[in-house]
Amino acid sequence: MSIFKGSGVAIVTPMTDKGEVNYEQFAKLLEFQIAKGTDAIIVCGTTGESSTLTHEEHLEVIRYCAEVVAGRIPVVAGTGSNCTDTAIYLSKEAEKSGVDGLLLVSPYYNKATQNGLYAHFKAVADSVKLPVLLYNVPSRTSCNIAPETILRLCTDVENIVGVKEASGDISQIARLAAISGGKIDIYSGNDNQIVPVMSLGGIGVISVLANVAPAQTHEICQKYLDGDAKESCRLQLEAMELCDALFCEVNPIPVKKALSLMGIIDGALRMPLSEMEPANTERLEKAMRAYGIL
């Protein structure tokens, strides 16, 4: 059973201008997502600035998210780390919060071997009963999870059920789809590749775009799941300019700026992330207006 199908939002973590988590704005954002048809919340991932949250903050954000969502849609908690013991700790604690699944990024900086990745993910997944999604994002981690390793993990470890594939390598994703025979839940990790990944058997996206366009991102996925690939493709192409603008600086700088422009959150960031450059802000505003969300 898949954790979810369709559009899962890689949700931002709103901050105050003093750098504290802004729970009031976080609740507002969660309600906005649910009201607009988002299919799942993915909390404390890259877009949620998990790398600068303390362990206590990380777990409190997960607990708060699960409490506010209250079972209305699935919540998947990012609990990966480059330290296996830390990932186990975060995963066990997140499980107590009542989330529906976990997202485990490959260990960053360490640059583990494929055998090391297998041992790491197996140890973390074996420590919990929740379904687990792997997260392959080599541009962030300098470490690629090979299709064969993903298949091995999903075959050997009962609760590892799928992968967020953000390598951007369609050939690699096609190989994974081919060797897995539909037995692995594959989610696009890139908003500009939702339809290409779903055309290879993927079942949705874990999305940055959905922060600002939840209804539209849901519709891209739902049209494909409903068998209307042509309309899904049209909607994907319609969103491309905004997708590009949301990554014209490192994520989540642009998406937080976009949410600020929409009046949903203030858009504060934690260092070392910094305020968006004026020229890029102008580009983002233009794309948002063209897309009809501003």
Residue 102 resides in a domain: yes
Residue 145 resides in a domain: yes
Cβ within 8 Å of residue 145, ≥6 positions away: 106, 114, 117, 134, 136, 163
If DSSP codes are grouped into helix, strand and coil, which group holds residue 99?
coil
Burial 248-258 (b: 16+ CB within 10 A, else e): bbebbbbbbbb
Residue 291 resides in a domain: no
The first and second tokens of residue 231, run together, are: 């309309």
Residues 55-114: tens digit of each pLDDT: 999 999 999 999 999 999 999 999 999 999 999 999 999 999 999 999 999 999 999 999
Bond from prior residue into 272 cis (ω within 30 degrees of 0): yes
Q: What does pLDDT average to over the chain?
A: 97
Confidence category of residue 1, pLDDT binned at 50, 70, 90: confident
Residues 105-161: tens digit of each pLDDT: 999 999 999 999 999 999 999 999 999 999 999 999 999 999 999 999 999 999 999
Cβ within 8 Å of residue 90, ≥6 positions away: 55, 58, 59, 79, 80, 81
pLDDT at 202 over 90: yes
Query: What's the total number of domains in the chain?
Result: 1
Catalytic residue among 118, 164, 257, 291: 164
Residue 126 resides in a domain: yes
Show the domain range for 49.
6-226
Residue 160 resides in a domain: yes
Round to whole Å and give the CA distance between 162 and 136: 11
Burial of 234 (C-beta count, 10 Å sphere; 0-12/13-18/19+): middle
Q: What is the pTM of this model?
A: 0.96
pLDDT at 122: 98
Query: Does the annotation count 122 as an active-site position?
Result: no
In the chain, the N- to C-terminal Cα span, in Å, equals 37
Catalytic residue among 96, 118, 122, 135: 135
The alpha carbon of 271 is separated from its chain's Cα centroid by a whole number of angstroms, namely 21
Residue 284 resides in a domain: no
pLDDT at 175: 98
Residue 182 resides in a domain: yes
The first and second tokens of residue 109, run together, are: 């900086």
Query: Does the annotation count 164 as an active-site position?
Result: yes
Phi, psi of 270 (to 5 degrees): -100, 140
Residue 283 resides in a domain: no
Helix (H), strand (E) at residue 165: strand 160-165
Q: What is the CATH number of the domain that holds 128?
A: 3.20.20.70
Q: What is the mean pLDDT of the segment spanning 46-51?
A: 95
pLDDT at 31 over 80: yes
